């Protein structure tokens, strides 16, 4: 270990003792300061955390946002431009943008293709350092590179003072003061029909009841690592009203008896992170009541960490690899203790439902469905974005009533009803109610309600291949069906004529034997193309 490297590490991360769960934050500080992770710094960090060098190295190399250098390897160029090449950005010319930038920017700027950065409504998107360039085009990106600003700016939001003036945190205070009891509160949430809005759709009230029955100590883990191509609704709510989900998390912790709250935010949302740090500081400086510990954890570019147990592993300072279940994280989660996990939007609705009543929420809906859904809509529509609409709305109604119709010159051709993993359906099936369980019989699901609209100028097979390449890139590699299956599928899907029986056999193995939902759902778009767009692959 080099003494100078040890001194540099200590200057950035502070004095020991440090805990294992702080490893990712330490790696981020080194990367942010030096532009890469040097071997000498990793060796010193391992000593400070009392970890084997292999433990630090395997974590650093697992996450896409860390540049780990070998001994003697030169650091990367001082500036990196990352261009999203996921489904919607590809529809809007991401590949041509990448090629052009690589030619124009020269060797002093590194241009990389990267997975979804959560801004699909403003496609295509380039990131200069941590600064997003929306609706990017070559001249726009070149001007931003010359400008040299690489940091994102915090969004304008309802700040702490304004939120308190509007009655914020009063409901949480009522809970602490005994004006509400946990059981009746959980019953109200159950009556509303609110289900988890991160993709799985597990009933919120039932999950709280399960956690309430577990032994202390317990934790709340907030999943704000939305990485599914097409999904950006959590960012939408976070940018505008961060304290609403924080209050929801505090109420949840009180109801289930959790001692601490951990928030896991994806690294691509740098501006949101700065804003959230400011608002959490304001909350701590003038709390309405005694606060439980609130911890903000920063992801490092791994879609798999949106899976609840992989997120727990990442929070603990490890590679984000899903755990085998059982036990479920409700029994053995963060630090081996019972953990209540929710995505950000699920907690966003807690205050509104409890203040306005379960009937208010359940009164919304169409086609016999109940509740509201936040649809992240992108693709070939005039008005992409987050649209709050009744559960059970059809995609045709969503396009016409909320998105101002299709783009001029484009005809509705097909759609992803639930992000990259939710499958693809043709326009002829555009009158199916969009909600949990309504799409299952068609080989699709709504997931996090990310709707990507395709037109007659697109091909479903190309979109499915893009999705499969994403899953290949994001597979954690732990299980063979997912690690090898996604790679083999990508190869087979590039053929002019698809081998349907072989692809179906591969899909069956992936869905049956993969450890987590990534490998299990990855074949959905491919299967849908074989089923609903056979003319494209013959």
Q: How far is residue 243's CA from residue 389's CA, in Å, rounded to a whole number? A: 22
Return the pLDDT at 14: 85
Average pLDDT of the residues in 57-67: 97
The band of 36, judged by pLDDT with boundaries at 50, 70 and 90, is very high
131 and 234, same domain (yes or no): no
Return the pLDDT at 249: 98
DSSP assignments along 53-75, one per residue: HHHHHHHHHHSTT--BPPTTPPP
Instruction: Write the CATH number for 99.
Output: 3.40.30.10
CA neighbor of 301 nearest in space, from 423, 420, 127: 127
**491 has pLDDT over 90:** yes
296 and 319, same domain (yes or no): yes
Return the pLDDT at 436: 95
The reply to whether 265 falls in a domain is: yes
183 and 278, same domain (yes or no): yes
Average pLDDT of the residues in 430-455: 96
203 and 316, same domain (yes or no): yes
Return the pLDDT at 218: 98
171 and 220, same domain (yes or no): yes
Return the pLDDT at 282: 98
Q: Please, which residues bridge with residue 79 across strands?
A: 109
Q: How far is residue 380's CA from residue 398's CA, in Å, rounded to a whole number? A: 13
228 and 244, same domain (yes or no): yes
Q: How many CB atoms neighbour CB 281 within 10 A?
A: 10
The reply to whether 154 falls in a domain is: no
Average pLDDT of the residues in 34-44: 96
The parent domain of residue 127 ranges over 79-147
Average pLDDT of the residues in 249-269: 98
Q: How many CB atoms neighbour CB 457 within 10 A?
A: 12
**528 has pLDDT over 90:** yes
215 and 271, same domain (yes or no): yes
131 and 244, same domain (yes or no): no
Return the pLDDT at 172: 98
What are the tens digits of pLDDT across the range 1-30?
A: 899 999 999 999 987 678 999 999 999 999
**199 has pLDDT over 90:** no
244 and 349, same domain (yes or no): yes
Which two three-digit tokens encode residue 386? 């987050």
What is residue 284's three-state secondary structure? helix
The reply to whether 322 falls in a domain is: yes
Q: Please, which residues bridge with residue 426 across strands?
A: 414
Q: Which of these three, 356, 388, 403, is where a domain ends?
A: 356
The reply to whether 74 falls in a domain is: no
The reply to whether 69 falls in a domain is: no
**What is the phi/psi pair of residue 374, to 5°?**
-95, 105
Instruction: Write the CATH number for 526.
Output: 1.20.1440.230
Q: How far is residue 205's CA from residue 143's CA, in Å, rounded to a whole number? A: 50
Instruction: Write the CATH number for 184.
Output: 3.40.50.11540
The band of 140, judged by pLDDT with boundaries at 50, 70 and 90, is very high
Per residue, the 3-state secondary structure of 459-524, as one string, reads CHHHHHHHHHHHHHHHCCCCCHHHHHHHHHHHHHHCCCCCCHHHHHHHHHHHHHHCCCHHHHHCCH
What are the tens digits of pLDDT across the range 346-383?
A: 999 999 999 999 999 999 999 999 999 999 999 999 99
Residue 131 sits at the vertex; the CA angle it makes with 93 and 129, to the nearest 5 degrees, is 90
Instruction: Give 190 or 148, the one with higher predicted confidence.
Output: 190
Q: Which of these three, 300, 325, 356, is where a domain ends?
A: 356
194 and 283, same domain (yes or no): yes
DSSP 8-state code for residue 268: T
Return the pLDDT at 15: 74
CA atoms within 13 A on the CB side of 3: 0
Residues 6+ apart with CB under 8 A from 85: 94, 95, 98, 113, 114, 115, 466
324 and 420, same domain (yes or no): no
442 and 512, same domain (yes or no): no
Tally of domains within the chain: 5
């Amino acid at each position: 270990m080099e003494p100078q490297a040890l001194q540099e590490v200590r200057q950035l991360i502070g004095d020991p003792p440090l805990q294992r769960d702080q490893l990712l934050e330490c790696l981020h500080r080194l990367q942010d300061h030096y532009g890469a992770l040097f071997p000498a710094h990793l060796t010193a960090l391992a000593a400070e955390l009392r970890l084997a060098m292999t433990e630090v190295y395997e974590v650093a190399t697992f996450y896409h946002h860390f540049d780990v250098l070998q001994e003697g390897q030169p650091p990367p160029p001082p500036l990196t431009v990352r261009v999203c090449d996921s489904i919607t950005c590809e529809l809007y010319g991401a590949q041509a943008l990448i090629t052009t930038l690589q030619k124009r920017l020269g060797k002093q700027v590194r241009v990389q293709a990267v997975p979804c950065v959560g801004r699909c409504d403003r496609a295509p998107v380039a990131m200069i350092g941590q600064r997003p360039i929306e609706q990017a085009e070559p001249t726009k990106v070149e001007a931003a590179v010359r400008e040299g600003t690489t940091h994102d700016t915090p969004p304008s939001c309802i700040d702490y003072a304004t939120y308190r003036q509007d009655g914020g945190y009063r409901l949480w205070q009522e809970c602490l003061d005994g004006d509400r009891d946990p059981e009746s509160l959980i019953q109200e949430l159950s009556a509303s029909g609110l289900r988890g809005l991160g993709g799985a759709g597990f009933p919120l009230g039932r999950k709280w009841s399960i956690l309430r029955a577990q032994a202390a100590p317990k934790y709340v883990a907030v999943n704000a690592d939305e990485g599914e191509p097409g999904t950006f609704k959590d960012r939408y709510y976070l940018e505008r009203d961060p304290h609403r989900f924080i209050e929801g998390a505090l109420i949840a912790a009180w109801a289930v008896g959790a001692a601490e709250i951990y928030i896991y935010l994806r690294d691509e949302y740098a501006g949101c992170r700065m804003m959230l740090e400011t608002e959490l500081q304001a909350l701590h400086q003038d709390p309405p009541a005694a606060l439980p510990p609130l911890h903000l954890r920063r992801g490092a570019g791994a879609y798999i960490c949106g899976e609840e147990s992989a997120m727990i592993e990442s929070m603990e300072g490890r590679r984000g690899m899903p755990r085998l279940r059982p036990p479920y994280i409700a029994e053995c989660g963060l630090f081996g203790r019972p953990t209540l996990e929710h995505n950000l939007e699920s907690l966003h609705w807690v205050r509104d439902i409890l203040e306005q009543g379960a009937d208010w929420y359940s009164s919304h809906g169409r086609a016999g469905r109940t509740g509201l859904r936040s649809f992240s809509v992108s693709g070939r529509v005039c008005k992409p974005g987050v649209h709050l609409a009744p559960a059970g709305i059809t995609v045709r109604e969503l396009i016409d009533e909320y998105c101002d119709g299709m783009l001029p010159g484009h005809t509705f051709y097909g759609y992803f009803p639930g992000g990259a993993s939710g499958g693809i359906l043709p326009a002829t099936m555009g009158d199916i109610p969009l909600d949990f369980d309504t799409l299952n019989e068609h080989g699709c699901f709504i997931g996090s309600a990310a709707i990507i609209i395709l037109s007659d100028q697109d091909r479903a097979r190309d979109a499915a291949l893009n999705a499969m390449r994403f899953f290949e890139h994001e597979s954690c590699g732990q299980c063979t069906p997912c690690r090898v299956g996604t790679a083999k599928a990508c190869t087979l899907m590039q053929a002019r004529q698809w081998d349907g029986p072989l692809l179906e056999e591969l899909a069956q193995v992936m869905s049956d034997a993969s450890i987590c939902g990534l490998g299990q759902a990855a074949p959905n778009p491919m299967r849908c193309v074989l089923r609903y767009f056979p003319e494209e692959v013959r």
